[in-house]
Amino acid sequence: MISIRSLNKKFGKLCVLDRVSVEFQSTKSYAIIGPNGSGKTTLIKCLLGMVLPDSGEIDVNGETIFKHWNYRRNIGYMPQIGHYPDQMKIGKLFEMMSDLRSDSSAIDGELIQEFKLHQIMHKRMHSLSGGTRQKVSGALAFLFNPSILILDEPTAGLDPIAVEVLKSKIQAEKAKGKLFLITSHILSDLDELSSDVLYLEEGHVLYNNSIQQLKDETGEVKLGRAIAAVMKNNLVKV
Amino acid sequence: MMRIAKHVLYDILRNRFVIFYTLFLLTITFSLFSLDSDAGKASLSLLNIILLVVPLVSIIFTTIHFFNSYEFIELLLAQPINRSVIFFSEFTAVALALSVAYLVGVGIPLFFIFPDASSFFMLLAGLLLTWVFVSLAFFASVSTRDKAKGIGIALLFWFYFSLIYDGFLLYIIYSFSDYPLEKVTLLLASLNPIDLARISILLKLDISALMGYTGAFYKAFFGTYLGLFYSFGMLLVWTIVPLFFARRKFLTKDI
C-alpha cells in the first residue's frame, strides 16, 4: 500500500505537484492519467525517490520512504524512456541487475522469453530500437517479482504483439494481488488494465475513484469518453 | 559497494581511455629519463609535466565519465540501493582506475630508473593530486545537469589551480612585499593542491634555487619531513572536502 500526503514539488517557479494526497491500495490497479506535463512522471519519480519533493509525506507499506531505499525491493519500475549504458549488452545488463539484486531469489524471466529477448542477448543497448528498449525495460520491471509495479507509458512504442504480451502479463500479475500504477495516453488500454483512475491536471488531483464509479457518474461506457466528460465539466472530486 | 564499483570499473576499462593514459605516462617518463643523463633534472621535468597533466586528465575524465554514467545512475536509483553507496562506488571506481594508471605509468619507470626517496614522494604526491582532482570533478559534475557546463566548471577548476592562482599569489607577494608575508604565503599555498604537491616534492628533491620564496620559507618553517607530512595531509583534506559537498548535493539531487 502506498499513501501520499500533501506532496509538493516545484521545479524553479513551476509548480509540478500541488498538495497531492492519494492512497494506492494493494490488489488494485490504478490508471494515472492527465495531459502532458501534468505531473504524472514526477509523481512516480517521487515514489521511487529519484525526485525529492519539497514537502509532504510518502509511505510505502506503512513506512516512510525518505532517506530509505530498502522499500524499493518491492517495486518494479518501467520508465517512460529507458536510459541504459550504451555499450552494455542486453545479456550483461540482466546479469548485472541480477548481481546487484542477489538478495532476490524469485526471478521472473517470463517476459524475457515472451519478448524473445534471449535471442538478442549479445546486442548492445545503443543499437536497439525504441520498442526493443521498452521490452527490456518491461522485462526488468517484472524480473524480481515485486509486489508493486509502476509502469510509465508501458505500451508506447511497442508492436501490437508485444502490447498483447505485456497486457496479459499485467493481467496475470494483477490476479496475484499486486498493486499496479500505470500511466498512459491510450485510454482503451487502461480501461482493460485498471480498476481505478487518478486524474491529474497541472499538479492537482482532479479525480480519484474507481473507473466503474466514473462511468456511472458520467453515464458513459468507455473510459475515454468518461474522462472527456470530466475534462469538459471540470468535475472536481478528490 | 564494491559490487557496484566493479561494474563501473568494467565500464571504464571498456572505453580504453585509461589504457592510453597509462601508455602516455609510460612514454613520457621513459623518454624524459633517457633524454637527460642527470636523473635529478629529469625528475624535475617529469614533476612539471605531472603537475600539469595529472590534474587535467583526472578532472576532465572524471567529469565526462560522470555525465556518461547518468543512465547507469538512473538505473541504479530505481533499485534498492542507497544513493550514498552509488556515489562512493562511482568515486572509488574512477579514482582507482586513474590511480592504477598513474602508478603503472610513472611508478614502474621510476622504480627501474631512479629508485630514490624523492621518486617515492613524487609518486605519492601525484596519487594524492589524482584523488583531489577526481573529487573536484565530482563536485563540478553534481552542480549542474548540463554536460557542457559541467566540463566548463571542471576546466575552470584546473585553470584556476594551475595558472590563475599562481598569478594571484605573485601579485599579492609583490604588492605587499613591504610586510612580513611568510605565514600568509604559507597559508595561501595550502589553498592550492597543485602548489602543495609541488612544494612537497621540491622539498624532497632539495633544489633550493627552484623552490622559490614559498618553498624556502616552507622548509625553514617545517623542516623537510614535517613539511611533507603537512602537505600530504592538506592534500587529503582537499580530497575529502569537495567530496563531502558533492555527496551532500548528490543526495538531494533530482534525477
Mean pLDDT of B158-164: 93
Q: Given this model, what pLDDT does residue B1 score? A: 78
Interface A:B, Cβ pairs < 8 A = 63
Contacts of A230 (CB under 8 A, 6+ apart): A199, A206, A207, A214, A218
Contacts of B72 in chain A (CB under 8 A): 84-85
Q: Given this model, what pLDDT does residue B178 score? A: 87
Q: Give the span between the Cα atoms of B229 and B206, in whole angstroms.
A: 16
Contacts of A70 in chain B (CB under 8 A): 80
Taking residue B65's Cβ as centre, other Cβ atoms within 10 Å add up to 24
Q: Given this model, what pLDDT does residue A72 score? A: 92
- Shortest alpha-carbon distance between residue B118 and chain A (Å): 42
Contact assignment for A50 to B252 by CB distance below 8 Å:
no
**Residue A54 belongs to what H/E stretch?**
none
Look up the ipTM and state it. Answer: 0.87
- Shortest alpha-carbon distance between residue A47 and chain B (Å): 10
CB crowding A126-143: b at 16 or more within 10 Å, else e: eebeeebbbbbbbbbbbb
* The CA-based dihedral angle spanning residues A18, A21, A25, A26, taken in that order and rounded to the nearest 10 degrees: 50
Q: Is A129 helix (H, G, I), strand (E, B) or coil?
A: coil
Strand partners, A7: A20
Contacts of B147 (CB under 8 A, 6+ apart): B64, B67
Q: What is the pLDDT of residues B194-219, one digit of tens each?
A: 988 888 887 777 665 565 666 677 77
Q: Give the span between the Cα atoms of B39 and B41, in whole angstroms.
A: 5
Handedness of CA B194, B195, B196, B201 (dihedral sign): positive
Q: Given this model, what pLDDT does residue A8 score? A: 93
Q: Which of B173 and A195 is assigned the larger pLDDT?
A: A195
Least confident of A189-198, A227-236, B139-148, B246-255: A227-236
Contacts of A154 (CB under 8 A, 6+ apart): A78, A134, A138, A166, A170, A182, A184
Q: What is the pLDDT of residues A95-153, one digit of tens each?
A: 999 988 877 778 898 999 999 999 999 999 999 999 999 999 999 999 999 999 999 99
Q: pTM of the predicted model, to two decimals?
A: 0.90
